[in-house]
Amino acid sequence: MTEAELDAAYTHLCKTMTELGEARAPLFLARFALLAMVRIGNVAVVQEMTDAAAADIAAEAAG
C-alpha cells in the first residue's frame, strides 16, 4: 500500500464509521477486526496484532 492508498483507506473507514454513529462503532470495528483476521490468515501475526493493539491502552479510561 502506498501512503496515498493508506490515506484513502483510513479516510474511508473514518467516514463509514461516522455515518454509522458512535453507538454502532464498537460493533463495526469488531466486524472489521474479524474480517482482517481471516484476510491475514496467519495465527501468529494476528495474535501479535492483538497484543500490539492492547499494549499501552490498559491505563486509558474507557470510551
**Residues making contact with other proteins (CB under 8 A):** 3, 6-7, 10-11, 13-18, 22, 25, 52-53, 55-57
Residue with cell 453507538: 23
Nearer to other proteins, 2 or 41 (CB): 2
Nearer to other proteins, 38 or 52 (CB): 52
Distance of alpha carbon 28 from alpha carbon 32, whole angstroms:
6
> Rounded to the nearest whole angstrom, what is the least distance from the CB of residue 61 to other proteins in the complex?
12
Distance of alpha carbon 18 from alpha carbon 3, whole angstroms:
22
> Rounded to the nearest whole angstrom, what is the least distance from the CB of residue 38 to other proteins in the complex?
21
Distance of alpha carbon 53 from alpha carbon 56, whole angstroms:
8
